[in-house]
Amino acid sequence: MGGSVSERGREVKGRGVAQREGRNFLLRAFFVVVLIGAFGCSKDNTSPAEDTKAPAVSTEVTFGDIKYNSITLSWGEATDDVTPKDRLQYRVLTSSTYININTVSECAKATGDAVVRDWSEYVPSLTISDLSQETVYWFAVLVRDEKGNMALYYPQQARTLANNAPTPGIAVYFNDEEKTETSVHVRWGAATDANYKSEELEYRLVKADSAAKIDTVNEALAVSGDDLVMDWSQNVLDTVVTGLSMGTRYYFAVLVRNPKLKTALYSPKMTTTKDTEAPTPQGTISFSGIEGDSITLNWPSALDNLTPAVDLYYKAVWASNSSDIDTVGKANSSPNVVMDWTKNTCSASATGLSEYTTYYFAVLVKDEQDNMALYAPEDCHHA
């Protein structure tokens, strides 16, 4: 009935083994939990470096389609070292003064009417409506990455048009081929008006050495003296401006008004009078690294009356006779080019040279308007 002694022994022994196995399992599970709590599940317990670098802003805020009650603004898309471009967010701010939105902290804490568009994805352009006529507005854009690092597109200003003012036509433009050392031909497109014919509109042309001096209607209206290029003239869409200085930057703006004296502004545009003065070479050509079939040419940076030194271009050539490269024209047409036109570079390596041969080397320099000068040929004997 109760089974044999041996069977009961095996049953007791089996229960003992099972109990020991159960205890061992619980102990193993306990130690696993302890280890996970102490060291975590990851094989690499190190934390990634914290992202503290702000995004890099792109093209500044610009304006288009300015009306008496609306302005369209745009800005370039930012980039970030960690956050993808499509995850960057932007916040658009406005103010009547620059100082209210000229820092990251000011723009981040702005509220109410100062926030034109709160944090959202990038858009190529944004139209701001319900604005007041003939009013200056400042706009700034804040960009942030996924870690909350922020950067600022600095504030720019725009002025709404007068209500019922003419709408400016094609912006002020220039023809480079018509420029001289002392004159430029300024042109602009005809404005339109809802109540008057184009032929009835009048124009006023002004100039300045900075766009900021003539970028509002009131500033352009206040211009007088030599900077008033053309006073109010009916249906005139171009004029030749004379008496200017060579190689000088000028800003031109045009005002247009209708018979009711409602006035609008063509935004200032910059041009530079023709520069015929070539750069001035500083020093002479020298040589180094004469070995094998190569020679290194070196020369000091040139100077120019208008173009910054870092924006000058250089070209190096060689010849068997100095008379083959002793003028700008000869050197520029030489087939033996060591280095073609390269920006802000004052050394070049000539290779493939023959031993026991004398070579002559010359260097050309040119500015942004392609005026060229020559570093006189220097000879080097390749032993």
Cα–Cα distance measured from residue 82 to residue 364, given in angstroms and rounded to the nearest whole number = 44
Residue 33 has pLDDT above 50, yes or no: no
Query: According to the model, what pLDDT value does residue 194 have?
Result: 84
Spatial contact of 230 and 236, defined as CB atoms under 8 Å apart: yes
Q: Is 79 helix (H, G, I), strand (E, B) or coil?
A: strand
Q: Is 115 helix (H, G, I), strand (E, B) or coil?
A: strand
pTM of the model: 0.49
When pLDDT is cut at 50, 70 and 90, the band that residue 301 belongs to is: very high
Spatial contact of 356 and 382, defined as CB atoms under 8 Å apart: yes
Q: Residue 120 is encoded by which pair of tokens?
A: 């959202």
Tell me the CA end-to-end span of the chain in Å, nearest whole number.
119
Proportion of the chain above pLDDT 70, given as a percent: 87
Proportion of the chain above pLDDT 90, given as a percent: 73
Cα–Cα distance measured from residue 223 to residue 212, given in angstroms and rounded to the nearest whole number = 13
Query: According to the model, what pLDDT value does residue 176 have?
Result: 86
When pLDDT is cut at 50, 70 and 90, the band that residue 30 belongs to is: low
Average pLDDT, the chain: 88
**176-233: pLDDT as tens digits:** 889 999 999 999 999 999 889 999 999 999 999 999 999 999 999 999 999 999 999 9
**261-280: pLDDT as tens digits:** 999 999 999 999 988 899 99
Q: List domains and CATH numbers for the chain.
A: 62-159 (2.60.40.10), 173-272 (2.60.40.10), 286-382 (2.60.40.10)
- Of 106-115, 128-137, 335-344, which gets the smallest average pLDDT? 128-137
Cα–Cα distance measured from residue 105 to residue 6, given in angstroms and rounded to the nearest whole number = 86
Query: According to the model, what pLDDT value does residue 306 have?
Result: 84
Residue 64 has pLDDT above 70, yes or no: yes
The better pLDDT of the pair 3, 125 is held by 125
The better pLDDT of the pair 327, 355 is held by 327
- Give me the mean pLDDT over the 294-310 stretch: 94
Residue 31 has pLDDT above 70, yes or no: no
Q: Identify the DSSP state of 160.
A: P
CB atoms within 10 A of CB 243: 8
CA 9-10-12 angle, to 5 degrees, is: 65
Q: How many CA atoms, within 13 angstroms, populate the side-chain half-sphere of residue 164?
A: 7
**242-251: pLDDT as tens digits:** 999 998 999 9
- Give the chain's radius of gyration (CA, Å): 37
Among 266, 127, 160, smallest CA distance to 206 is for 266
Cα–Cα distance measured from residue 47 to residue 107, given in angstroms and rounded to the nearest whole number = 32
Cα–Cα distance measured from residue 325 to residue 339, given in angstroms and rounded to the nearest whole number = 15
Residue 116 has pLDDT above 50, yes or no: yes
Among 77, 92, 86, 83, smallest CA distance to 54 is for 83
